[in-house]
């Protein structure tokens, strides 16, 4: 590895400055793998070194590696959010935003394929990023993100889910199955792959869905048991008073506990329905219990907070503090949960800050 490439890779700014001062053309010397010094800095997220190389050699921004990938491709692929943000804010580098590599992938494709939701979120918010560009496989960025959802052998990771949500919030389109200019062979390949995929789905691993149904059934049964026990041991049977706040809290307790019981019961019935063996019936039945159980858990938490307030109403300030903290915590969890499933342009603005919190929780150390 050449000295400038190594200094750029490890982030040795002083070394880069000395080398460029004496040998400025060394920034145009590539390694055997086709990577230039500015690419090394981009892959490691060293913004100051990128700035120094561009200040000394402005044409270095157009350098590409053996796969025709520029500095934005590599920063997006490696998940360097700060480097991506710097490039997006630099108007002189905007020509790199929608460039394609040898496989037709843009920097957005690379970030999606590598599951870097923070980088994807930065790119989709930029006005010059074209969300509908297709790669050589005919897939947009959203199509790349949805490949993992078509794979029934594994559950999409949290980062993959956030990547998909970021694209859906931005209104990213899917590519049409084929265009008017497509050849007959391409059309036949598309339909053949569709039929083959359907056949593979019919012989999917049933144990995967069996485990999911079993886990959800256990959760639904536990919630149902708790709600019944809470109803039989209602705090209203022990605490009788004329305090208006106590009566309101008792009403909250009864209503939310009943909603939790109804939601868990509905989820349990749907999960029993999902065990009949039909694949499409199982997939349909698995969609609704998740929402129902999420609602039941939220209602159960609010019911618990109301019950605590009733039993601690003799210490007024402590009861109010506990109830407010509990409701605020549950509300925060509900908003974060909803932001994972609302995939439209309106949700992009409504759930911007909750989604940013999820991005912070999902980021890796190297982001």
Q: Are residues 230 and 322 in the same domain?
A: yes
Residue 84 lies in a domain: no
* Structural domains of the chain, count: 2
Q: Answer whether residue 82 shows pLDDT above 70.
A: yes
pLDDT band at 192 (very low <50, low <70, confident <90, very high): very low
pLDDT band at 367 (very low <50, low <70, confident <90, very high): low
Instruction: Single out the residue in 180, 206, 234 at which a domain terminates.
Output: 180
Q: Are residues 163 and 233 in the same domain?
A: no
Q: Are residues 170 and 205 in the same domain?
A: no
Residue 136 lies in a domain: yes
Structure confidence at residue 89 (pLDDT): 92
- pLDDT tens digits for range 329-346: 877 777 766 666 665 555
Instruction: Single out the residue in 180, 210, 242 at which a domain terminates.
Output: 180
Q: Are residues 287 and 154 in the same domain?
A: no
Q: Are residues 220 and 345 in the same domain?
A: yes
Least confident of 4-18, 59-73, 169-183: 169-183
Q: Taking residues 25-54, what's their average pLDDT?
A: 91
Q: Are residues 302 and 207 in the same domain?
A: yes
Grouping H, G, I as helix, E, B as strand and the rest as coil, residue 124 is helix
User: How many CB atoms neighbour CB 181 within 10 A?
Assistant: 6
CA–CA distance from 297 to each of 6, 236, 260, 282, 359 (Å)?
A: 53, 22, 7, 23, 24
Residue 56 lies in a domain: no
Q: Answer whether residue 148 shows pLDDT above 70.
A: no
Query: Which has the higher per-residue pLDDT, 40 or 186?
Result: 40
Residue showing tokens 């062979």: 185
Helices (H) and strands (E) in the chain, counts: 18, 0
Could you give the CA distance from residue 212 to residue 67 in angstroms, rounded to a whole number? 41
* Nearest partner of 38 among 60, 17, 22, judged by Cα: 60
pLDDT band at 46 (very low <50, low <70, confident <90, very high): very high
Grouping H, G, I as helix, E, B as strand and the rest as coil, residue 206 is helix
Q: Is 141 exposed, middle or buried (0-12, 13-18, 19+ CB in 10 A)?
A: buried
Residue 349 lies in a domain: yes
pLDDT band at 49 (very low <50, low <70, confident <90, very high): very high
Q: Are residues 212 and 276 in the same domain?
A: yes
Q: Taking residues 295-303, what's their average pLDDT?
A: 84
> Which DSSP letter does residue 78 get?
T
- pLDDT tens digits for range 222-244: 888 888 888 777 665 555 555 67
Half-sphere exposure of 214 (CA within 13 A, CB side): 6
Residue 310 lies in a domain: yes
Structure confidence at residue 336 (pLDDT): 67
pLDDT band at 152 (very low <50, low <70, confident <90, very high): very low
Q: Which CATH number is 140's domain given?
A: 1.25.40.20
Could you give the CA distance from residue 143 to residue 194 in angstroms, rounded to a whole number? 15
Structure tokens at 287: 């969609």
Residue 292 lies in a domain: yes
* Nearest partner of 366 among 109, 43, 48, judged by Cα: 43
Q: Are residues 311 and 206 in the same domain?
A: yes
Residue 47 lies in a domain: no
Of these ranges, 116-130, 150-164, 279-293, the one predicted with the greatest mean pLDDT is 116-130
Q: Are residues 128 and 268 in the same domain?
A: no
Q: Are residues 227 and 154 in the same domain?
A: no
Could you give the CA distance from residue 21 to residue 26 in angstroms, rounded to a whole number? 10
Could you give the CA distance from residue 11 to residue 5 in angstroms, rounded to a whole number? 10
What share of the chain in percent tops pLDDT 90? Answer: 21
Could you give the CA distance from residue 20 to residue 26 in angstroms, rounded to a whole number? 7
Q: Are residues 138 and 228 in the same domain?
A: no
Give the structural domain span for 215.
198-362
Q: Are residues 151 and 298 in the same domain?
A: no
Q: What H or E segment, with its residue span, contains residue 230?
A: helix 206-232
Residue 108 lies in a domain: yes
pLDDT band at 84 (very low <50, low <70, confident <90, very high): very high
Which residues lie below 8 Å from residue 29, measured CB to CB, with a gap of 6+? 2, 4, 36, 37
Instruction: Single out the residue in 180, 209, 238 at which a domain terminates.
Output: 180
CA–CA distance from 154 to each of 101, 147, 209, 256, 353 (Å)?
A: 29, 11, 11, 35, 29
């Amino acid at each position: 590895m050449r000295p400038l490439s190594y200094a750029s890779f490890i982030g040795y700014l002083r070394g880069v400055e000395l080398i460029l001062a004496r040998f400025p053309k060394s920034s145009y010397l590539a390694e055997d793998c086709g990577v230039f010094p500015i690419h090394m800095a981009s892959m490691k997220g060293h913004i100051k070194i990128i700035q120094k190389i561009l200040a000394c050699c402005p044409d270095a921004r157009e350098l590409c590696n053996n796969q025709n990938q520029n500095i934005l491709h590599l920063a997006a692929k490696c998940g360097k959010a700060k480097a991506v943000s710097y490039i997006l804010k630099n108007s002189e580098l905007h020509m790199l935003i929608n460039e394609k590599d040898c496989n037709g992938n843009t920097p957005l494709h690379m970030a999606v394929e590598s599951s870097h939701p923070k980088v994807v979120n930065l790119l989709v918010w930029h006005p010059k990023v074209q969300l509908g560009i297709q790669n050589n496989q005919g897939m947009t960025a959203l199509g790349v993100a949805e490949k993992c959802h078509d794979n029934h052998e594994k559950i999409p990771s949290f980062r993959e889910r956030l990547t998909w949500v970021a694209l859906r919030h931005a209104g990213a389109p899917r590519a049409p199955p084929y265009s008017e200019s497509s050849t007959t062979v391409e059309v036949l390949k598309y339909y053949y792959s569709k039929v083959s995929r359907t056949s593979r789905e019919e012989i999917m691993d049933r144990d995967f869905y069996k485990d999911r149904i079993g886990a959800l059934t256990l959760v639904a049964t536990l919630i149902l048991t708790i709600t019944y026990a809470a109803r039989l041991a209602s705090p209203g049977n022990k605490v009788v008073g004329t305090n208006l706040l106590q009566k309101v809290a008792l009403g909250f307790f009864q209503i939310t506990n009943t909603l939790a019981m109804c939601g868990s019961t509905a989820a349990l019935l749907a999960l029993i329905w999902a065990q009949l063996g039909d694949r499409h019936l199982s997939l349909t039945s698995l969609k609704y219990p998740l929402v129902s159980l999420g609602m039941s858990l939220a209602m159960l938490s609010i019911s618990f907070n109301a019950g605590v307030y009733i039993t601690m109403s003799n210490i007024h300030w402590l009861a109010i503090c506990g109830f407010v903290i509990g409701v605020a915590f549950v509300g925060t969890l509900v908003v974060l949960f909803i932001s994972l499933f609302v995939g439209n342009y309106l949700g992009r603005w409504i759930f911007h800050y909750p989604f940013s919190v999820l991005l912070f929780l999902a980021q890796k150390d190297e982001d």
